[in-house]
Amino acid sequence: MFVTPAYAQAGAAGGGTAGILGSPIIMMVLIFVIFYFLLIRPQQKRAKEHAGMVKALRRGDQVVTAGGLVAKVTKVGAEDDNEIEVEISHGVKVKLIRSTITAVLSKTEPANDK
C-alpha cells in the first residue's frame, strides 16, 4: 500500500572509460614493473655481488659458511673449480662448495712480488 515500485536506473550512455588505470592489462604491467624494481632487481644485484665475492676468495681469507662455521681458506682451486678447502680447527680441513660461503670476515693482503 505505501510501497512504491523501484525501477532500475539506466547506466551512463556510451563507452565511458574508468581512467588510465582502468584496463586490466595496464594494471598487470604496472604490477610487474613494481615487482621488478622492488624484488627482482635487488635480488639480481645481491646474487652478482655474492658471485664476485666468491670468485675473489684467496688463501688465508677468514670466511663464514652457510652452516655458520667460521673457517680459514687453505686451498683455492682454479676459477672454474667449484671447491675450496678450509680449515675449521687446527689440523681439521674440509672441502666446501664455493657457493656455500656467505661472508668474508677478513681478507688477506695480496703478495707483493718484487
Reported as a single tens digit per residue, the pLDDT across 56-107 is 899 999 999 999 999 999 999 877 788 999 999 999 999 999 999 999 998 7
CATH code at position 85: 2.30.30
The residue range of the domain holding 58 is 24-106
Instruction: Inform me whether the pLDDT recorded for 6 exceeds 80.
Output: no
Q: Domain total for the chain? A: 1
Q: Does residue 14 belong to any structural domain of this protein?
A: no
Q: What pLDDT is stored for residue 78 in this prediction?
A: 77
Q: List, as one string, the DSSP characters of 62-105.
A: EEEETTS-EEEEEEE--TT--EEEEEEETTEEEEEEGGGEEEEE
Reported as a single tens digit per residue, the pLDDT across 36-57 is 999 999 999 999 999 999 988 9
More confident residue, 18 or 74: 74
Residues sharing a CB contact under 8 Å with residue 64, sequence separation 6 or more, in sequence order: 70, 71, 101, 102, 103, 104, 105
